[in-house]
Amino acid sequence: MKARITATGFAVAGLALSAMLPSVAAAADSLEALGANPNNWTMQTGDYTGQHYSRLSQITTGNVKNLKAAWSFSTGLLHGHEGAPLVIGDMMYINTPFPNNTFALNLAEPEKIVWQHKPKQDASVKAVACCDIVNRGLAYDDGRIFKTQLDGHLVALDAKTGKELWKMENCDPAVGSTITQAPFAVKGKVLVGCSGAELGVRGYVTAYDQKTGELVWRSFATGPDNELNLSKDFNKDNPHYGQMGLGTKTWEGEAWKIGGGTNWGWYAYDPKLNLFYYGSGNPAPWNETMRPGDNKWTMTIWARDVDTGAAKWGYQKTPHDEWDFAGVNQMILTDQAVNGKSQPLLTHVDRNGIMYTLNRQTGSIVQAAKVDPAVNVFKKVDLKTGLPLRDPEFSTRMDHKGTNICPSAMGFHNQGLDAYDPDSRTFYFGLNHICMDWEPFMLPYRAGQFFVGATLAMYPGPNGPTKKEMGQVRAMDGVTGEVKWTKWEKFSVWGGTLATKGGLVFYNTLDGNIKALDKTNGKEIWKFKMPSGAIGAPMSYAYKGKQYIATNYGVGGWPGVGLVFDLTDPSAGLGAVGAFKELQSYTQMGGGVMVFGL
Amino acid sequence: MRNRHKLILVSALLAATVSVFADDLIFRGTISGEMLDFKGLNETETDAVKKFKQTGVNPYNGNAEVIKKGESLFSTACSGCHGHLAEGKLGPALSDDYWTYPKNATDKGLFETIFGGAEGMMGPQRGRLTQDEMLQIMSWVRSIYQGDPDKAKWLNN
């Protein structure tokens, strides 16, 4: 029965199956079985590896020029639409920014909304969201939709009816903690973190039981070892990364309690090792002078046991951050040969501009290469010690205005979801190319209020063909760090990329184009201008034998804050607003989903 | 004169049990235009707040001690978006004479925008700051004004 469903792969059957076998093990199987069918798009990262790759091959380099809009859907909301819709069988599930409405459409008749879930939230939570009121999408497992609300709640809905099954408060907006992250469904649990490092929120990842909403475990990013939930042999393969006691010792006094390290990015999971991977974010406040020490374990790539949350290894990429290089970006799992021997790998492009490839079983570093030579905060990463070698010229400190620091606080890579093509062993990274000036200032901590303490101005990096480019798509080898090709963009490629078996790399632009490149050379062969700029990545699904490309549109997020700002204001020349001021001449706010087919 | 003061005090005490004073000004949301709701706030209205609600004039303007407190409050509640010196960052500058919402050039308008929120990321501060703290912050914002004195409408109230 199960084999047949995997083969034909229709999720309707999958849903029926999971309803008949309600055990937790069957649920995990069912999600993996659904994901194994390329007609579905079951999670934001594409699958547990995070490769964000579609095995559908109907749309090719040869026929993509005939790709046309098939249908569209307005969410009725403005602001940044991050994430992407999910497709399971004949249903599409769409999520929105605050107030985090969810819509279910039947692909047989997408004109009609099957159900909608519209939570009521106190608007004052908007005041503590750092960078627009985005949401990075839904998760699905075993007949349930899992969603997050800006006001800190994790909610489970019945995928058939949209009925609320349970609702848990995971993050407390009263102390400035919100959720913008997409939840991650794995092994009968839902994993979720919080946002709020800009308000001094102490980071943690929590697992909830999918059925009951009961808290299973919670592991912190800072603090005592038991709260960090370190396994006894933590970092045994790389003791020089640090082991016990450092979540408190690398802070002054009790600063770790308001030290940030929130995780609001993406997860990946290796069923063989039973480990999941994610990154903890920046320490608080941004002003480094106010928090001496390495500030462990902020800015860390974590490998934790999915059943217990216990950490097997952790690697801190940016000890004592000085630039807000929040380490939460996507983790992509691949198996590739290193020096002729196959290794389980994890690749991660950090905000700091370094592409890290580690052995995901041990945490050992295989490669740490700059995604662009403009990176100047670090000269290089010492592969033996794992430590970055800083260039003091681009460090930040009190009573000093740092200039021409690359990358900017937005990072050369941010929340985008990038693709890996297993056939050519190539990553396609959607990148920012933005540098900055940075000037810190002192400020007190108050619960529920901003705890930043730095003034920034951002502008294009130095390496674009006209020196005005702020984004690029770059094809790279994760093991050697070799750059295969580069496609420059006027604005950040904020949402990331989707690679398909048809030989294409799809991505969205901030000014509202969805584009397709030839994966072999980066040549642009198709584009379509959408009603508003896009800050999520496209996804692909098939229905009734036909492949579709679908994407959210709706400009916003950190790079789009300028568009929700009054740009006739003469002061609109600083920070992200200044860098992206020109965006207003290309696109305006909007929000919805566009679906393309041949 | 003294008697009149007493009378105001007594009527204020009586009115304190009612959510809106009979002679309070009407405060409206900057975007919605609807009347702002002051019910259910977990705070005791200070004399300054009561006075402000009747006159629309911030009694803390020019009060050096309060302005200092306002600066500290601004650094945590507002500087994340508006910048350390209100020079503008994710949100607009507040020290110049350009206002996204022109009514912010009056203290009543600025209070309405802070309390009830505006477009974009300017969420309502209702319940996050007390009304008295909002007035303290406003007194600092007015104190760092660098624009044309003729456009400083709050001085002409």
Higher pLDDT, A165 or A199: A165
Asked if residue A505 and residue A447 are part of one domain, the reply reads: yes
Interface contact flag, B75 A573, Cβ < 8 Å? no
- Cβ(A559)–Cβ(A58) below 8 Å: no
Asked if residue A262 and residue A155 are part of one domain, the reply reads: yes
Q: How many A×B Cβ pairs under 8 Å?
A: 109
Query: Min CA distance, B100 vs chain A (Å)?
Result: 6
B134 lies in some domain: yes
Comparing CA positions, the residue from A500, A44, A502, A492 lying closest to residue A264 is: A44
Asked if residue A489 and residue A364 are part of one domain, the reply reads: yes
Q: Which residue of A has its CA nearest to B85?
A: A455
**Residue-number span of the structural domain to which A444 is assigned:** 38-597
User: Residue A577's pLDDT is what?
Assistant: 65
User: Residue B5's pLDDT is what?
Assistant: 52
Q: Which residue of A has its CA nearest to B82?
A: A455
Interatomic CA distance for residues A361 and A341, integer angstroms: 14
User: Residue A448's pLDDT is what?
Assistant: 83
Residue A10 clears pLDDT 50, i.e. is over it: no
B107 lies in some domain: yes
User: Residue A580's pLDDT is what?
Assistant: 81
pLDDT band at A147 (very low <50, low <70, confident <90, very high): very high
Interatomic CA distance for residues B120 and A132, integer angstroms: 7
B10 lies in some domain: no
Residue A5 clears pLDDT 70, i.e. is over it: no
Asked if residue A112 and residue A16 are part of one domain, the reply reads: no
pLDDT band at A511 (very low <50, low <70, confident <90, very high): very high
How far CA A177 is from CA of A214, A247, A384, A478, B146, in Å, comes to: 20, 20, 37, 34, 35
Mean pLDDT computed over B74-97: 86
User: Residue B1's pLDDT is what?
Assistant: 42
User: Residue A570's pLDDT is what?
Assistant: 57
Mean pLDDT computed over B72-92: 86
How far CA A457 is from CA of A16, A522, B14, B76, B90, in Å, comes to: 54, 31, 53, 20, 11
Mean pLDDT of chain B: 86
Interface contact flag, A449 B128, Cβ < 8 Å? yes
Higher pLDDT, A294 or A576: A294
Residue B37, number of CB atoms within 10 A of its CB: 14
User: Residue A12's pLDDT is what?
Assistant: 38
Query: Which residues are A139's β-sheet partners?
Result: A146
User: Residue A567's pLDDT is what?
Assistant: 58
User: Residue B12's pLDDT is what?
Assistant: 46
User: Residue A573's pLDDT is what?
Assistant: 46
B62 lies in some domain: yes
User: Residue A513's pLDDT is what?
Assistant: 98
How confident is the model over A107-128, as pLDDT tens digits?
999 999 999 999 999 888 888 8
State the total domains in chain A.
2
Identify which of A132, A569, A574 has the shortest CB distance to residue B83: A574
**Residue-number span of the structural domain to which B51 is assigned:** 24-156
Mean pLDDT computed over A361-377: 98
Asked if residue A27 and residue A133 are part of one domain, the reply reads: no
* Rounded CA Rg of chain B: 16
Asked if residue A539 and residue A468 are part of one domain, the reply reads: yes
- Where residue A534 falls (left for φ over 0; alpha for ψ -120 to 50; beta otherwise) is beta
Identify which of A123, A450, A455 has the shortest CB distance to residue B124: A123
Asked if residue A302 and residue A404 are part of one domain, the reply reads: yes
Residue A26 clears pLDDT 80, i.e. is over it: no
Query: Min CA distance, A552 vs chain B (Å)?
Result: 19
Query: Min CA distance, B137 vs chain A (Å)?
Result: 14
Q: Which residue of B has its CA nearest to A128?
A: B123
- Cβ(B111)–Cβ(B57) below 8 Å: no
Query: Which residues are A405's β-sheet partners?
Result: A436
Contacts of B125 in chain A (CB under 8 A): 124, 127
Asked if residue A33 and residue A85 are part of one domain, the reply reads: no
How confident is the model over B17-58, as pLDDT tens digits?
444 555 889 999 998 899 999 998 999 999 999 999 999 999
User: Residue A230's pLDDT is what?
Assistant: 98
Residue A20 clears pLDDT 60, i.e. is over it: no
Select the residue from B69, B75, B82 to test the A interface by mutation, using most A Cβ atoms within 10 A: B75
Mean pLDDT computed over A169-187: 96
Contacts of B126 in chain A (CB under 8 A): 124
Residue A109 is part of a domain; what is its CATH number? 2.140.10.10
Residue B6 clears pLDDT 70, i.e. is over it: no
State the total domains in chain B.
1
pLDDT band at B13 (very low <50, low <70, confident <90, very high): very low
Asked if residue A143 and residue A214 are part of one domain, the reply reads: yes
Identify which of B73, B75, B128 has the shortest CB distance to residue A124: B128
pLDDT band at A131 (very low <50, low <70, confident <90, very high): confident
Mean pLDDT computed over B127-141: 96
B12 lies in some domain: no
Query: Min CA distance, A445 vs chain B (Å)?
Result: 7
User: Residue A579's pLDDT is what?
Assistant: 76
Mean pLDDT computed over B4-11: 49
Interatomic CA distance for residues A571 and A272, integer angstroms: 54
User: Residue B22's pLDDT is what?
Assistant: 59
pLDDT band at A25 (very low <50, low <70, confident <90, very high): very low
- Cβ(A289)–Cβ(A441) below 8 Å: no
Mean pLDDT computed over B54-79: 95
Interatomic CA distance for residues A206 and B106, integer angstroms: 46
Residue B124 is part of a domain; what is its CATH number? 1.10.760.10
Asked if residue A530 and residue A520 are part of one domain, the reply reads: yes
Residue B88 clears pLDDT 90, i.e. is over it: no
Note whether A111 contacts B: Cβ–Cβ < 8 A: no
Mean pLDDT computed over A438-454: 86
Residue A353 clears pLDDT 80, i.e. is over it: yes
CA dihedral over B27, B33, B37, B41, signed as positive or negative: negative
Which residues of A belong to the active site?
Answer: 324
Residue A402 clears pLDDT 50, i.e. is over it: yes
Q: What is the interface pTM, i.e. ipTM, of the complex?
A: 0.71
Interface contact flag, A124 B93, Cβ < 8 Å? no
Which residues 550-579 in chain A show a CB within 8 A of chain B?
Answer: 561, 564-566, 568-577
B40 lies in some domain: yes
- Cβ(A532)–Cβ(A587) below 8 Å: yes
Query: Min CA distance, A176 vs chain B (Å)?
Result: 10
Residue A301 clears pLDDT 80, i.e. is over it: yes
Select the residue from A78, A132, A565 to test the B interface by mutation, using most B Cβ atoms within 10 A: A565
Mean pLDDT of chain A: 92
Tokens of A373: 């030579």
Q: H helices within A94-204, ranges in order?
A: none
B-side interface with A, Cβ within 8 Å? 72-73, 75-81, 83-84, 87-93, 96, 98, 100, 117, 119-128
Identify which of B76, B119, B121 has the shortest CB distance to residue A444: B76
Identify which of A199, A561, A566 has the shortest CB distance to residue B121: A561
Asked if residue A413 and residue A532 are part of one domain, the reply reads: yes
Identify which of B81, B89, B96 has the shortest CB distance to residue A570: B96
